[in-house]
Structure 1
Amino acid sequence: MVYKGVLTKMQTEFLDPIQYYLVFESDFIHVNQLLNKTIDIKKVGEQCLSCGLDRPIFRQGFCKTCFFEKPLAGDWIMRPELSMAHLGKEDRDLDYEKKVQLQPHIVYLANSSNVKVGVTRKSQVPTRWIDQGAHEAIEIVEVPNRYLAGITEVALKEHVSDKTNWRNMLKNNIKDEDLLAWRSELKAYIPDEVKTYFIDNMSETHLHFPVEKYPQKPKSLNLNKDLVYTGKLVGIKGQYLIFDDDSVFNVRSNEGLVVEMTPY
């Protein structure tokens, strides 16, 4: 059977192991069921996730116009410390920004390739950790808006990384860390206006991914260059499909591509 649709990040279910789903307009794929099957992936077009038009994807699944104009791609998305909705100040669309920014946010530690600090909406826990391929994570503070989470992340990343090494994450080149100890050590660096939001009682969350074989030398697939790829699926971690020839396909970074997928 041929599945066709616009790529968006895989939806997930926090089970043991994590369950993954690709949702197209008229097709639905439980990706875990494709493990150990050969899959053809073919790029057949592009479609902006915002305007829905057949335009070249610029970044984050958006065409160039939407990336620079739509609120879904505002700078505060990647840099939460730039959020201004709590001040009633508009970036691109104040109503949208209030809806997203003025809700509970979590600052957390996650261990995917190394211990890193990050920010996510409370409603996105543990989805955010799954998407990053973290095998363990812990919350630090819960704040009422994105701005407070952003300034906390800025302060803490002076003392801990805010980046993930995707190759090490996919190779499973990681070690268990005492995130409670990390959290305790970093508490002193939380900004004064955020200290009261520190979560006192917290334990680590552990995540297990459906991977049967980790790549030794991960090589990223580029459908914009090669258009077609065929390989045996041997794992899913983060937002990556892992194939037996060490090729890996980042679904999230290919959002907006129209693809045909044929498992057999």
Structure 2
Amino acid sequence: MQYQGVLKKMKTENLDEIQYYLDMKTDFLNMNQLLNKEISISFIKYECLNCHLEKTVYRQGFCKSCFFDIPQAADWIMKPELSKAHLDIEERDLAYEKSVQLRPHIVYLANSSNVKVGVTRKGQVPTRWIDQGAHEAIEIVETPNRYLAGITEVALKEFVADKTNWRKMLKNDIEEVSLIEWREKLKEFIPEEAKAYFIENNSETHLNFPVKKYPKKPKSLNLIKTPKYTGKLVGIKGQYLIFDDETVFNVRSNEGLVVSIEV
């Protein structure tokens, strides 16, 4: 069977074992069903996720002109502390910015390779944790807007990481820690403006990824340099496909590539 479409991050469903789905325009692939099967991935062309033109992807699945123009790629996406919609200040499109920034946001701790702090919209829990390959996570602050979550993250990353070590995450090399203990330890460092939004007495969420075999030395597949790759799929974690020969492919970082997948 052959499928073709533009890559977008895999959709997920948090069941006993996380289910992964790849939307290939005309087909919706349950990637879990491809585990232990040989698949081929071939690069065909680029397609910007915004303008849908065949233009080289610059970042986040967008061509360069879209990346510097659309609100979905503005600086506050990656740096929530730069949000200004709560002040009625526009960066690129105030209506869009209000629709995203003025919603409840969660500051969380996650353990995917080590303890890290992060921010996500409340509606993105637990999707955000799954995308990061976190085995466990806990919500620590729920704010009414993105800005307050952002300044809380900035304050807390003085004491914990704010990035995932993707190699450790894929090797399943995880530090055993208590996120509840970390939550209590970090409580005093929450900014005054956000202290009232601290969440007490909640428990950790545990996540189970469909991985048959973890790589010891993961090597990343670059589809532009290697336009066709064939391998046996042995796991899915975060947004990575893991193959038997220790090749790993990050679907999310390849958004905007039109590919064919042959099973």
TM-score range, shorter chain: over 0.9
- Per-residue CA distance 1:138-166 (angstroms, 9 max, x = gap): 00000000000000000000011101100
TM-score (norm 2): 0.99
- Per-residue CA distance 1:36-71 (angstroms, 9 max, x = gap): 000000000110001111100000000000001110
Q: Which amino acid aligns with 1:216?
A: K
- Per-residue CA distance 1:74-120 (angstroms, 9 max, x = gap): 00000000000000000100000000100000000000010000000
The equivalent of 1:80 in structure 2 is 80
The equivalent of 1:188 in structure 2 is 188
SS in 2 for 1:118: strand
- Per-residue CA distance 1:208-248 (angstroms, 9 max, x = gap): 00000000000000001110000000000000000000000
Q: Which amino acid aligns with 1:241?
A: L
Quote the Cα distance in structure 1 between the aligned partners of 2:200 and 2:185. 13
The correspondence of residues 175-254 of structure 1 with structure 2, limited to 5 A, is: 175-254=175-254
- Residue 177 of structure 1 and its aligned partner are, at CA, apart by 1.1
The equivalent of 1:38 in structure 2 is 38
TM-score (norm 1): 0.99
SS in 2 for 1:151: helix
Q: Does 1:141 align with 2:141?
A: yes
Quote the Cα distance in structure 2 between the aligned partners of 1:41 and 1:193. 48
SS in 2 for 1:160: coil
- Residue 201 of structure 1 and its aligned partner are, at CA, apart by 2.2
Quote the Cα distance in structure 2 between the aligned partners of 1:190 and 1:175. 24
CA RMSD of aligned residues (A): 0.5
SS in 1 for 2:225: helix
Quote the Cα distance in structure 2 between the aligned partners of 1:186 and 1:262. 48
Quote the Cα distance in structure 1 between the aligned partners of 2:3 and 2:176. 38
Quote the Cα distance in structure 2 between the aligned partners of 1:200 and 1:169. 28
Aligned length: 263
Percent identical residues: 71
Q: Does 1:169 align with 2:169?
A: yes
- Residue 175 of structure 1 and its aligned partner are, at CA, apart by 2.7
SS in 2 for 1:224: coil
Q: Which amino acid aligns with 1:103?
A: R
Quote the Cα distance in structure 2 between the aligned partners of 1:128 and 1:64. 25
Which ranges of structure 2 fall in alignment gaps of 5 or more residues? Answer: none
Quote the Cα distance in structure 1 between the aligned partners of 2:251 and 2:25. 16
The correspondence of residues 114-125 of structure 1 with structure 2, limited to 5 A, is: 114-125=114-125
Quote the Cα distance in structure 2 between the aligned partners of 1:139 and 1:41. 37
SS in 1 for 2:58: coil
Q: Segments of 4+ in structure 1 off by > 4 A?
A: none
Which ranges of structure 1 fall in alignment gaps of 5 or more residues? Answer: none
SS in 1 for 2:236: strand
The equivalent of 2:104 in structure 1 is 104
Quote the Cα distance in structure 2 between the aligned partners of 1:24 and 1:120. 26
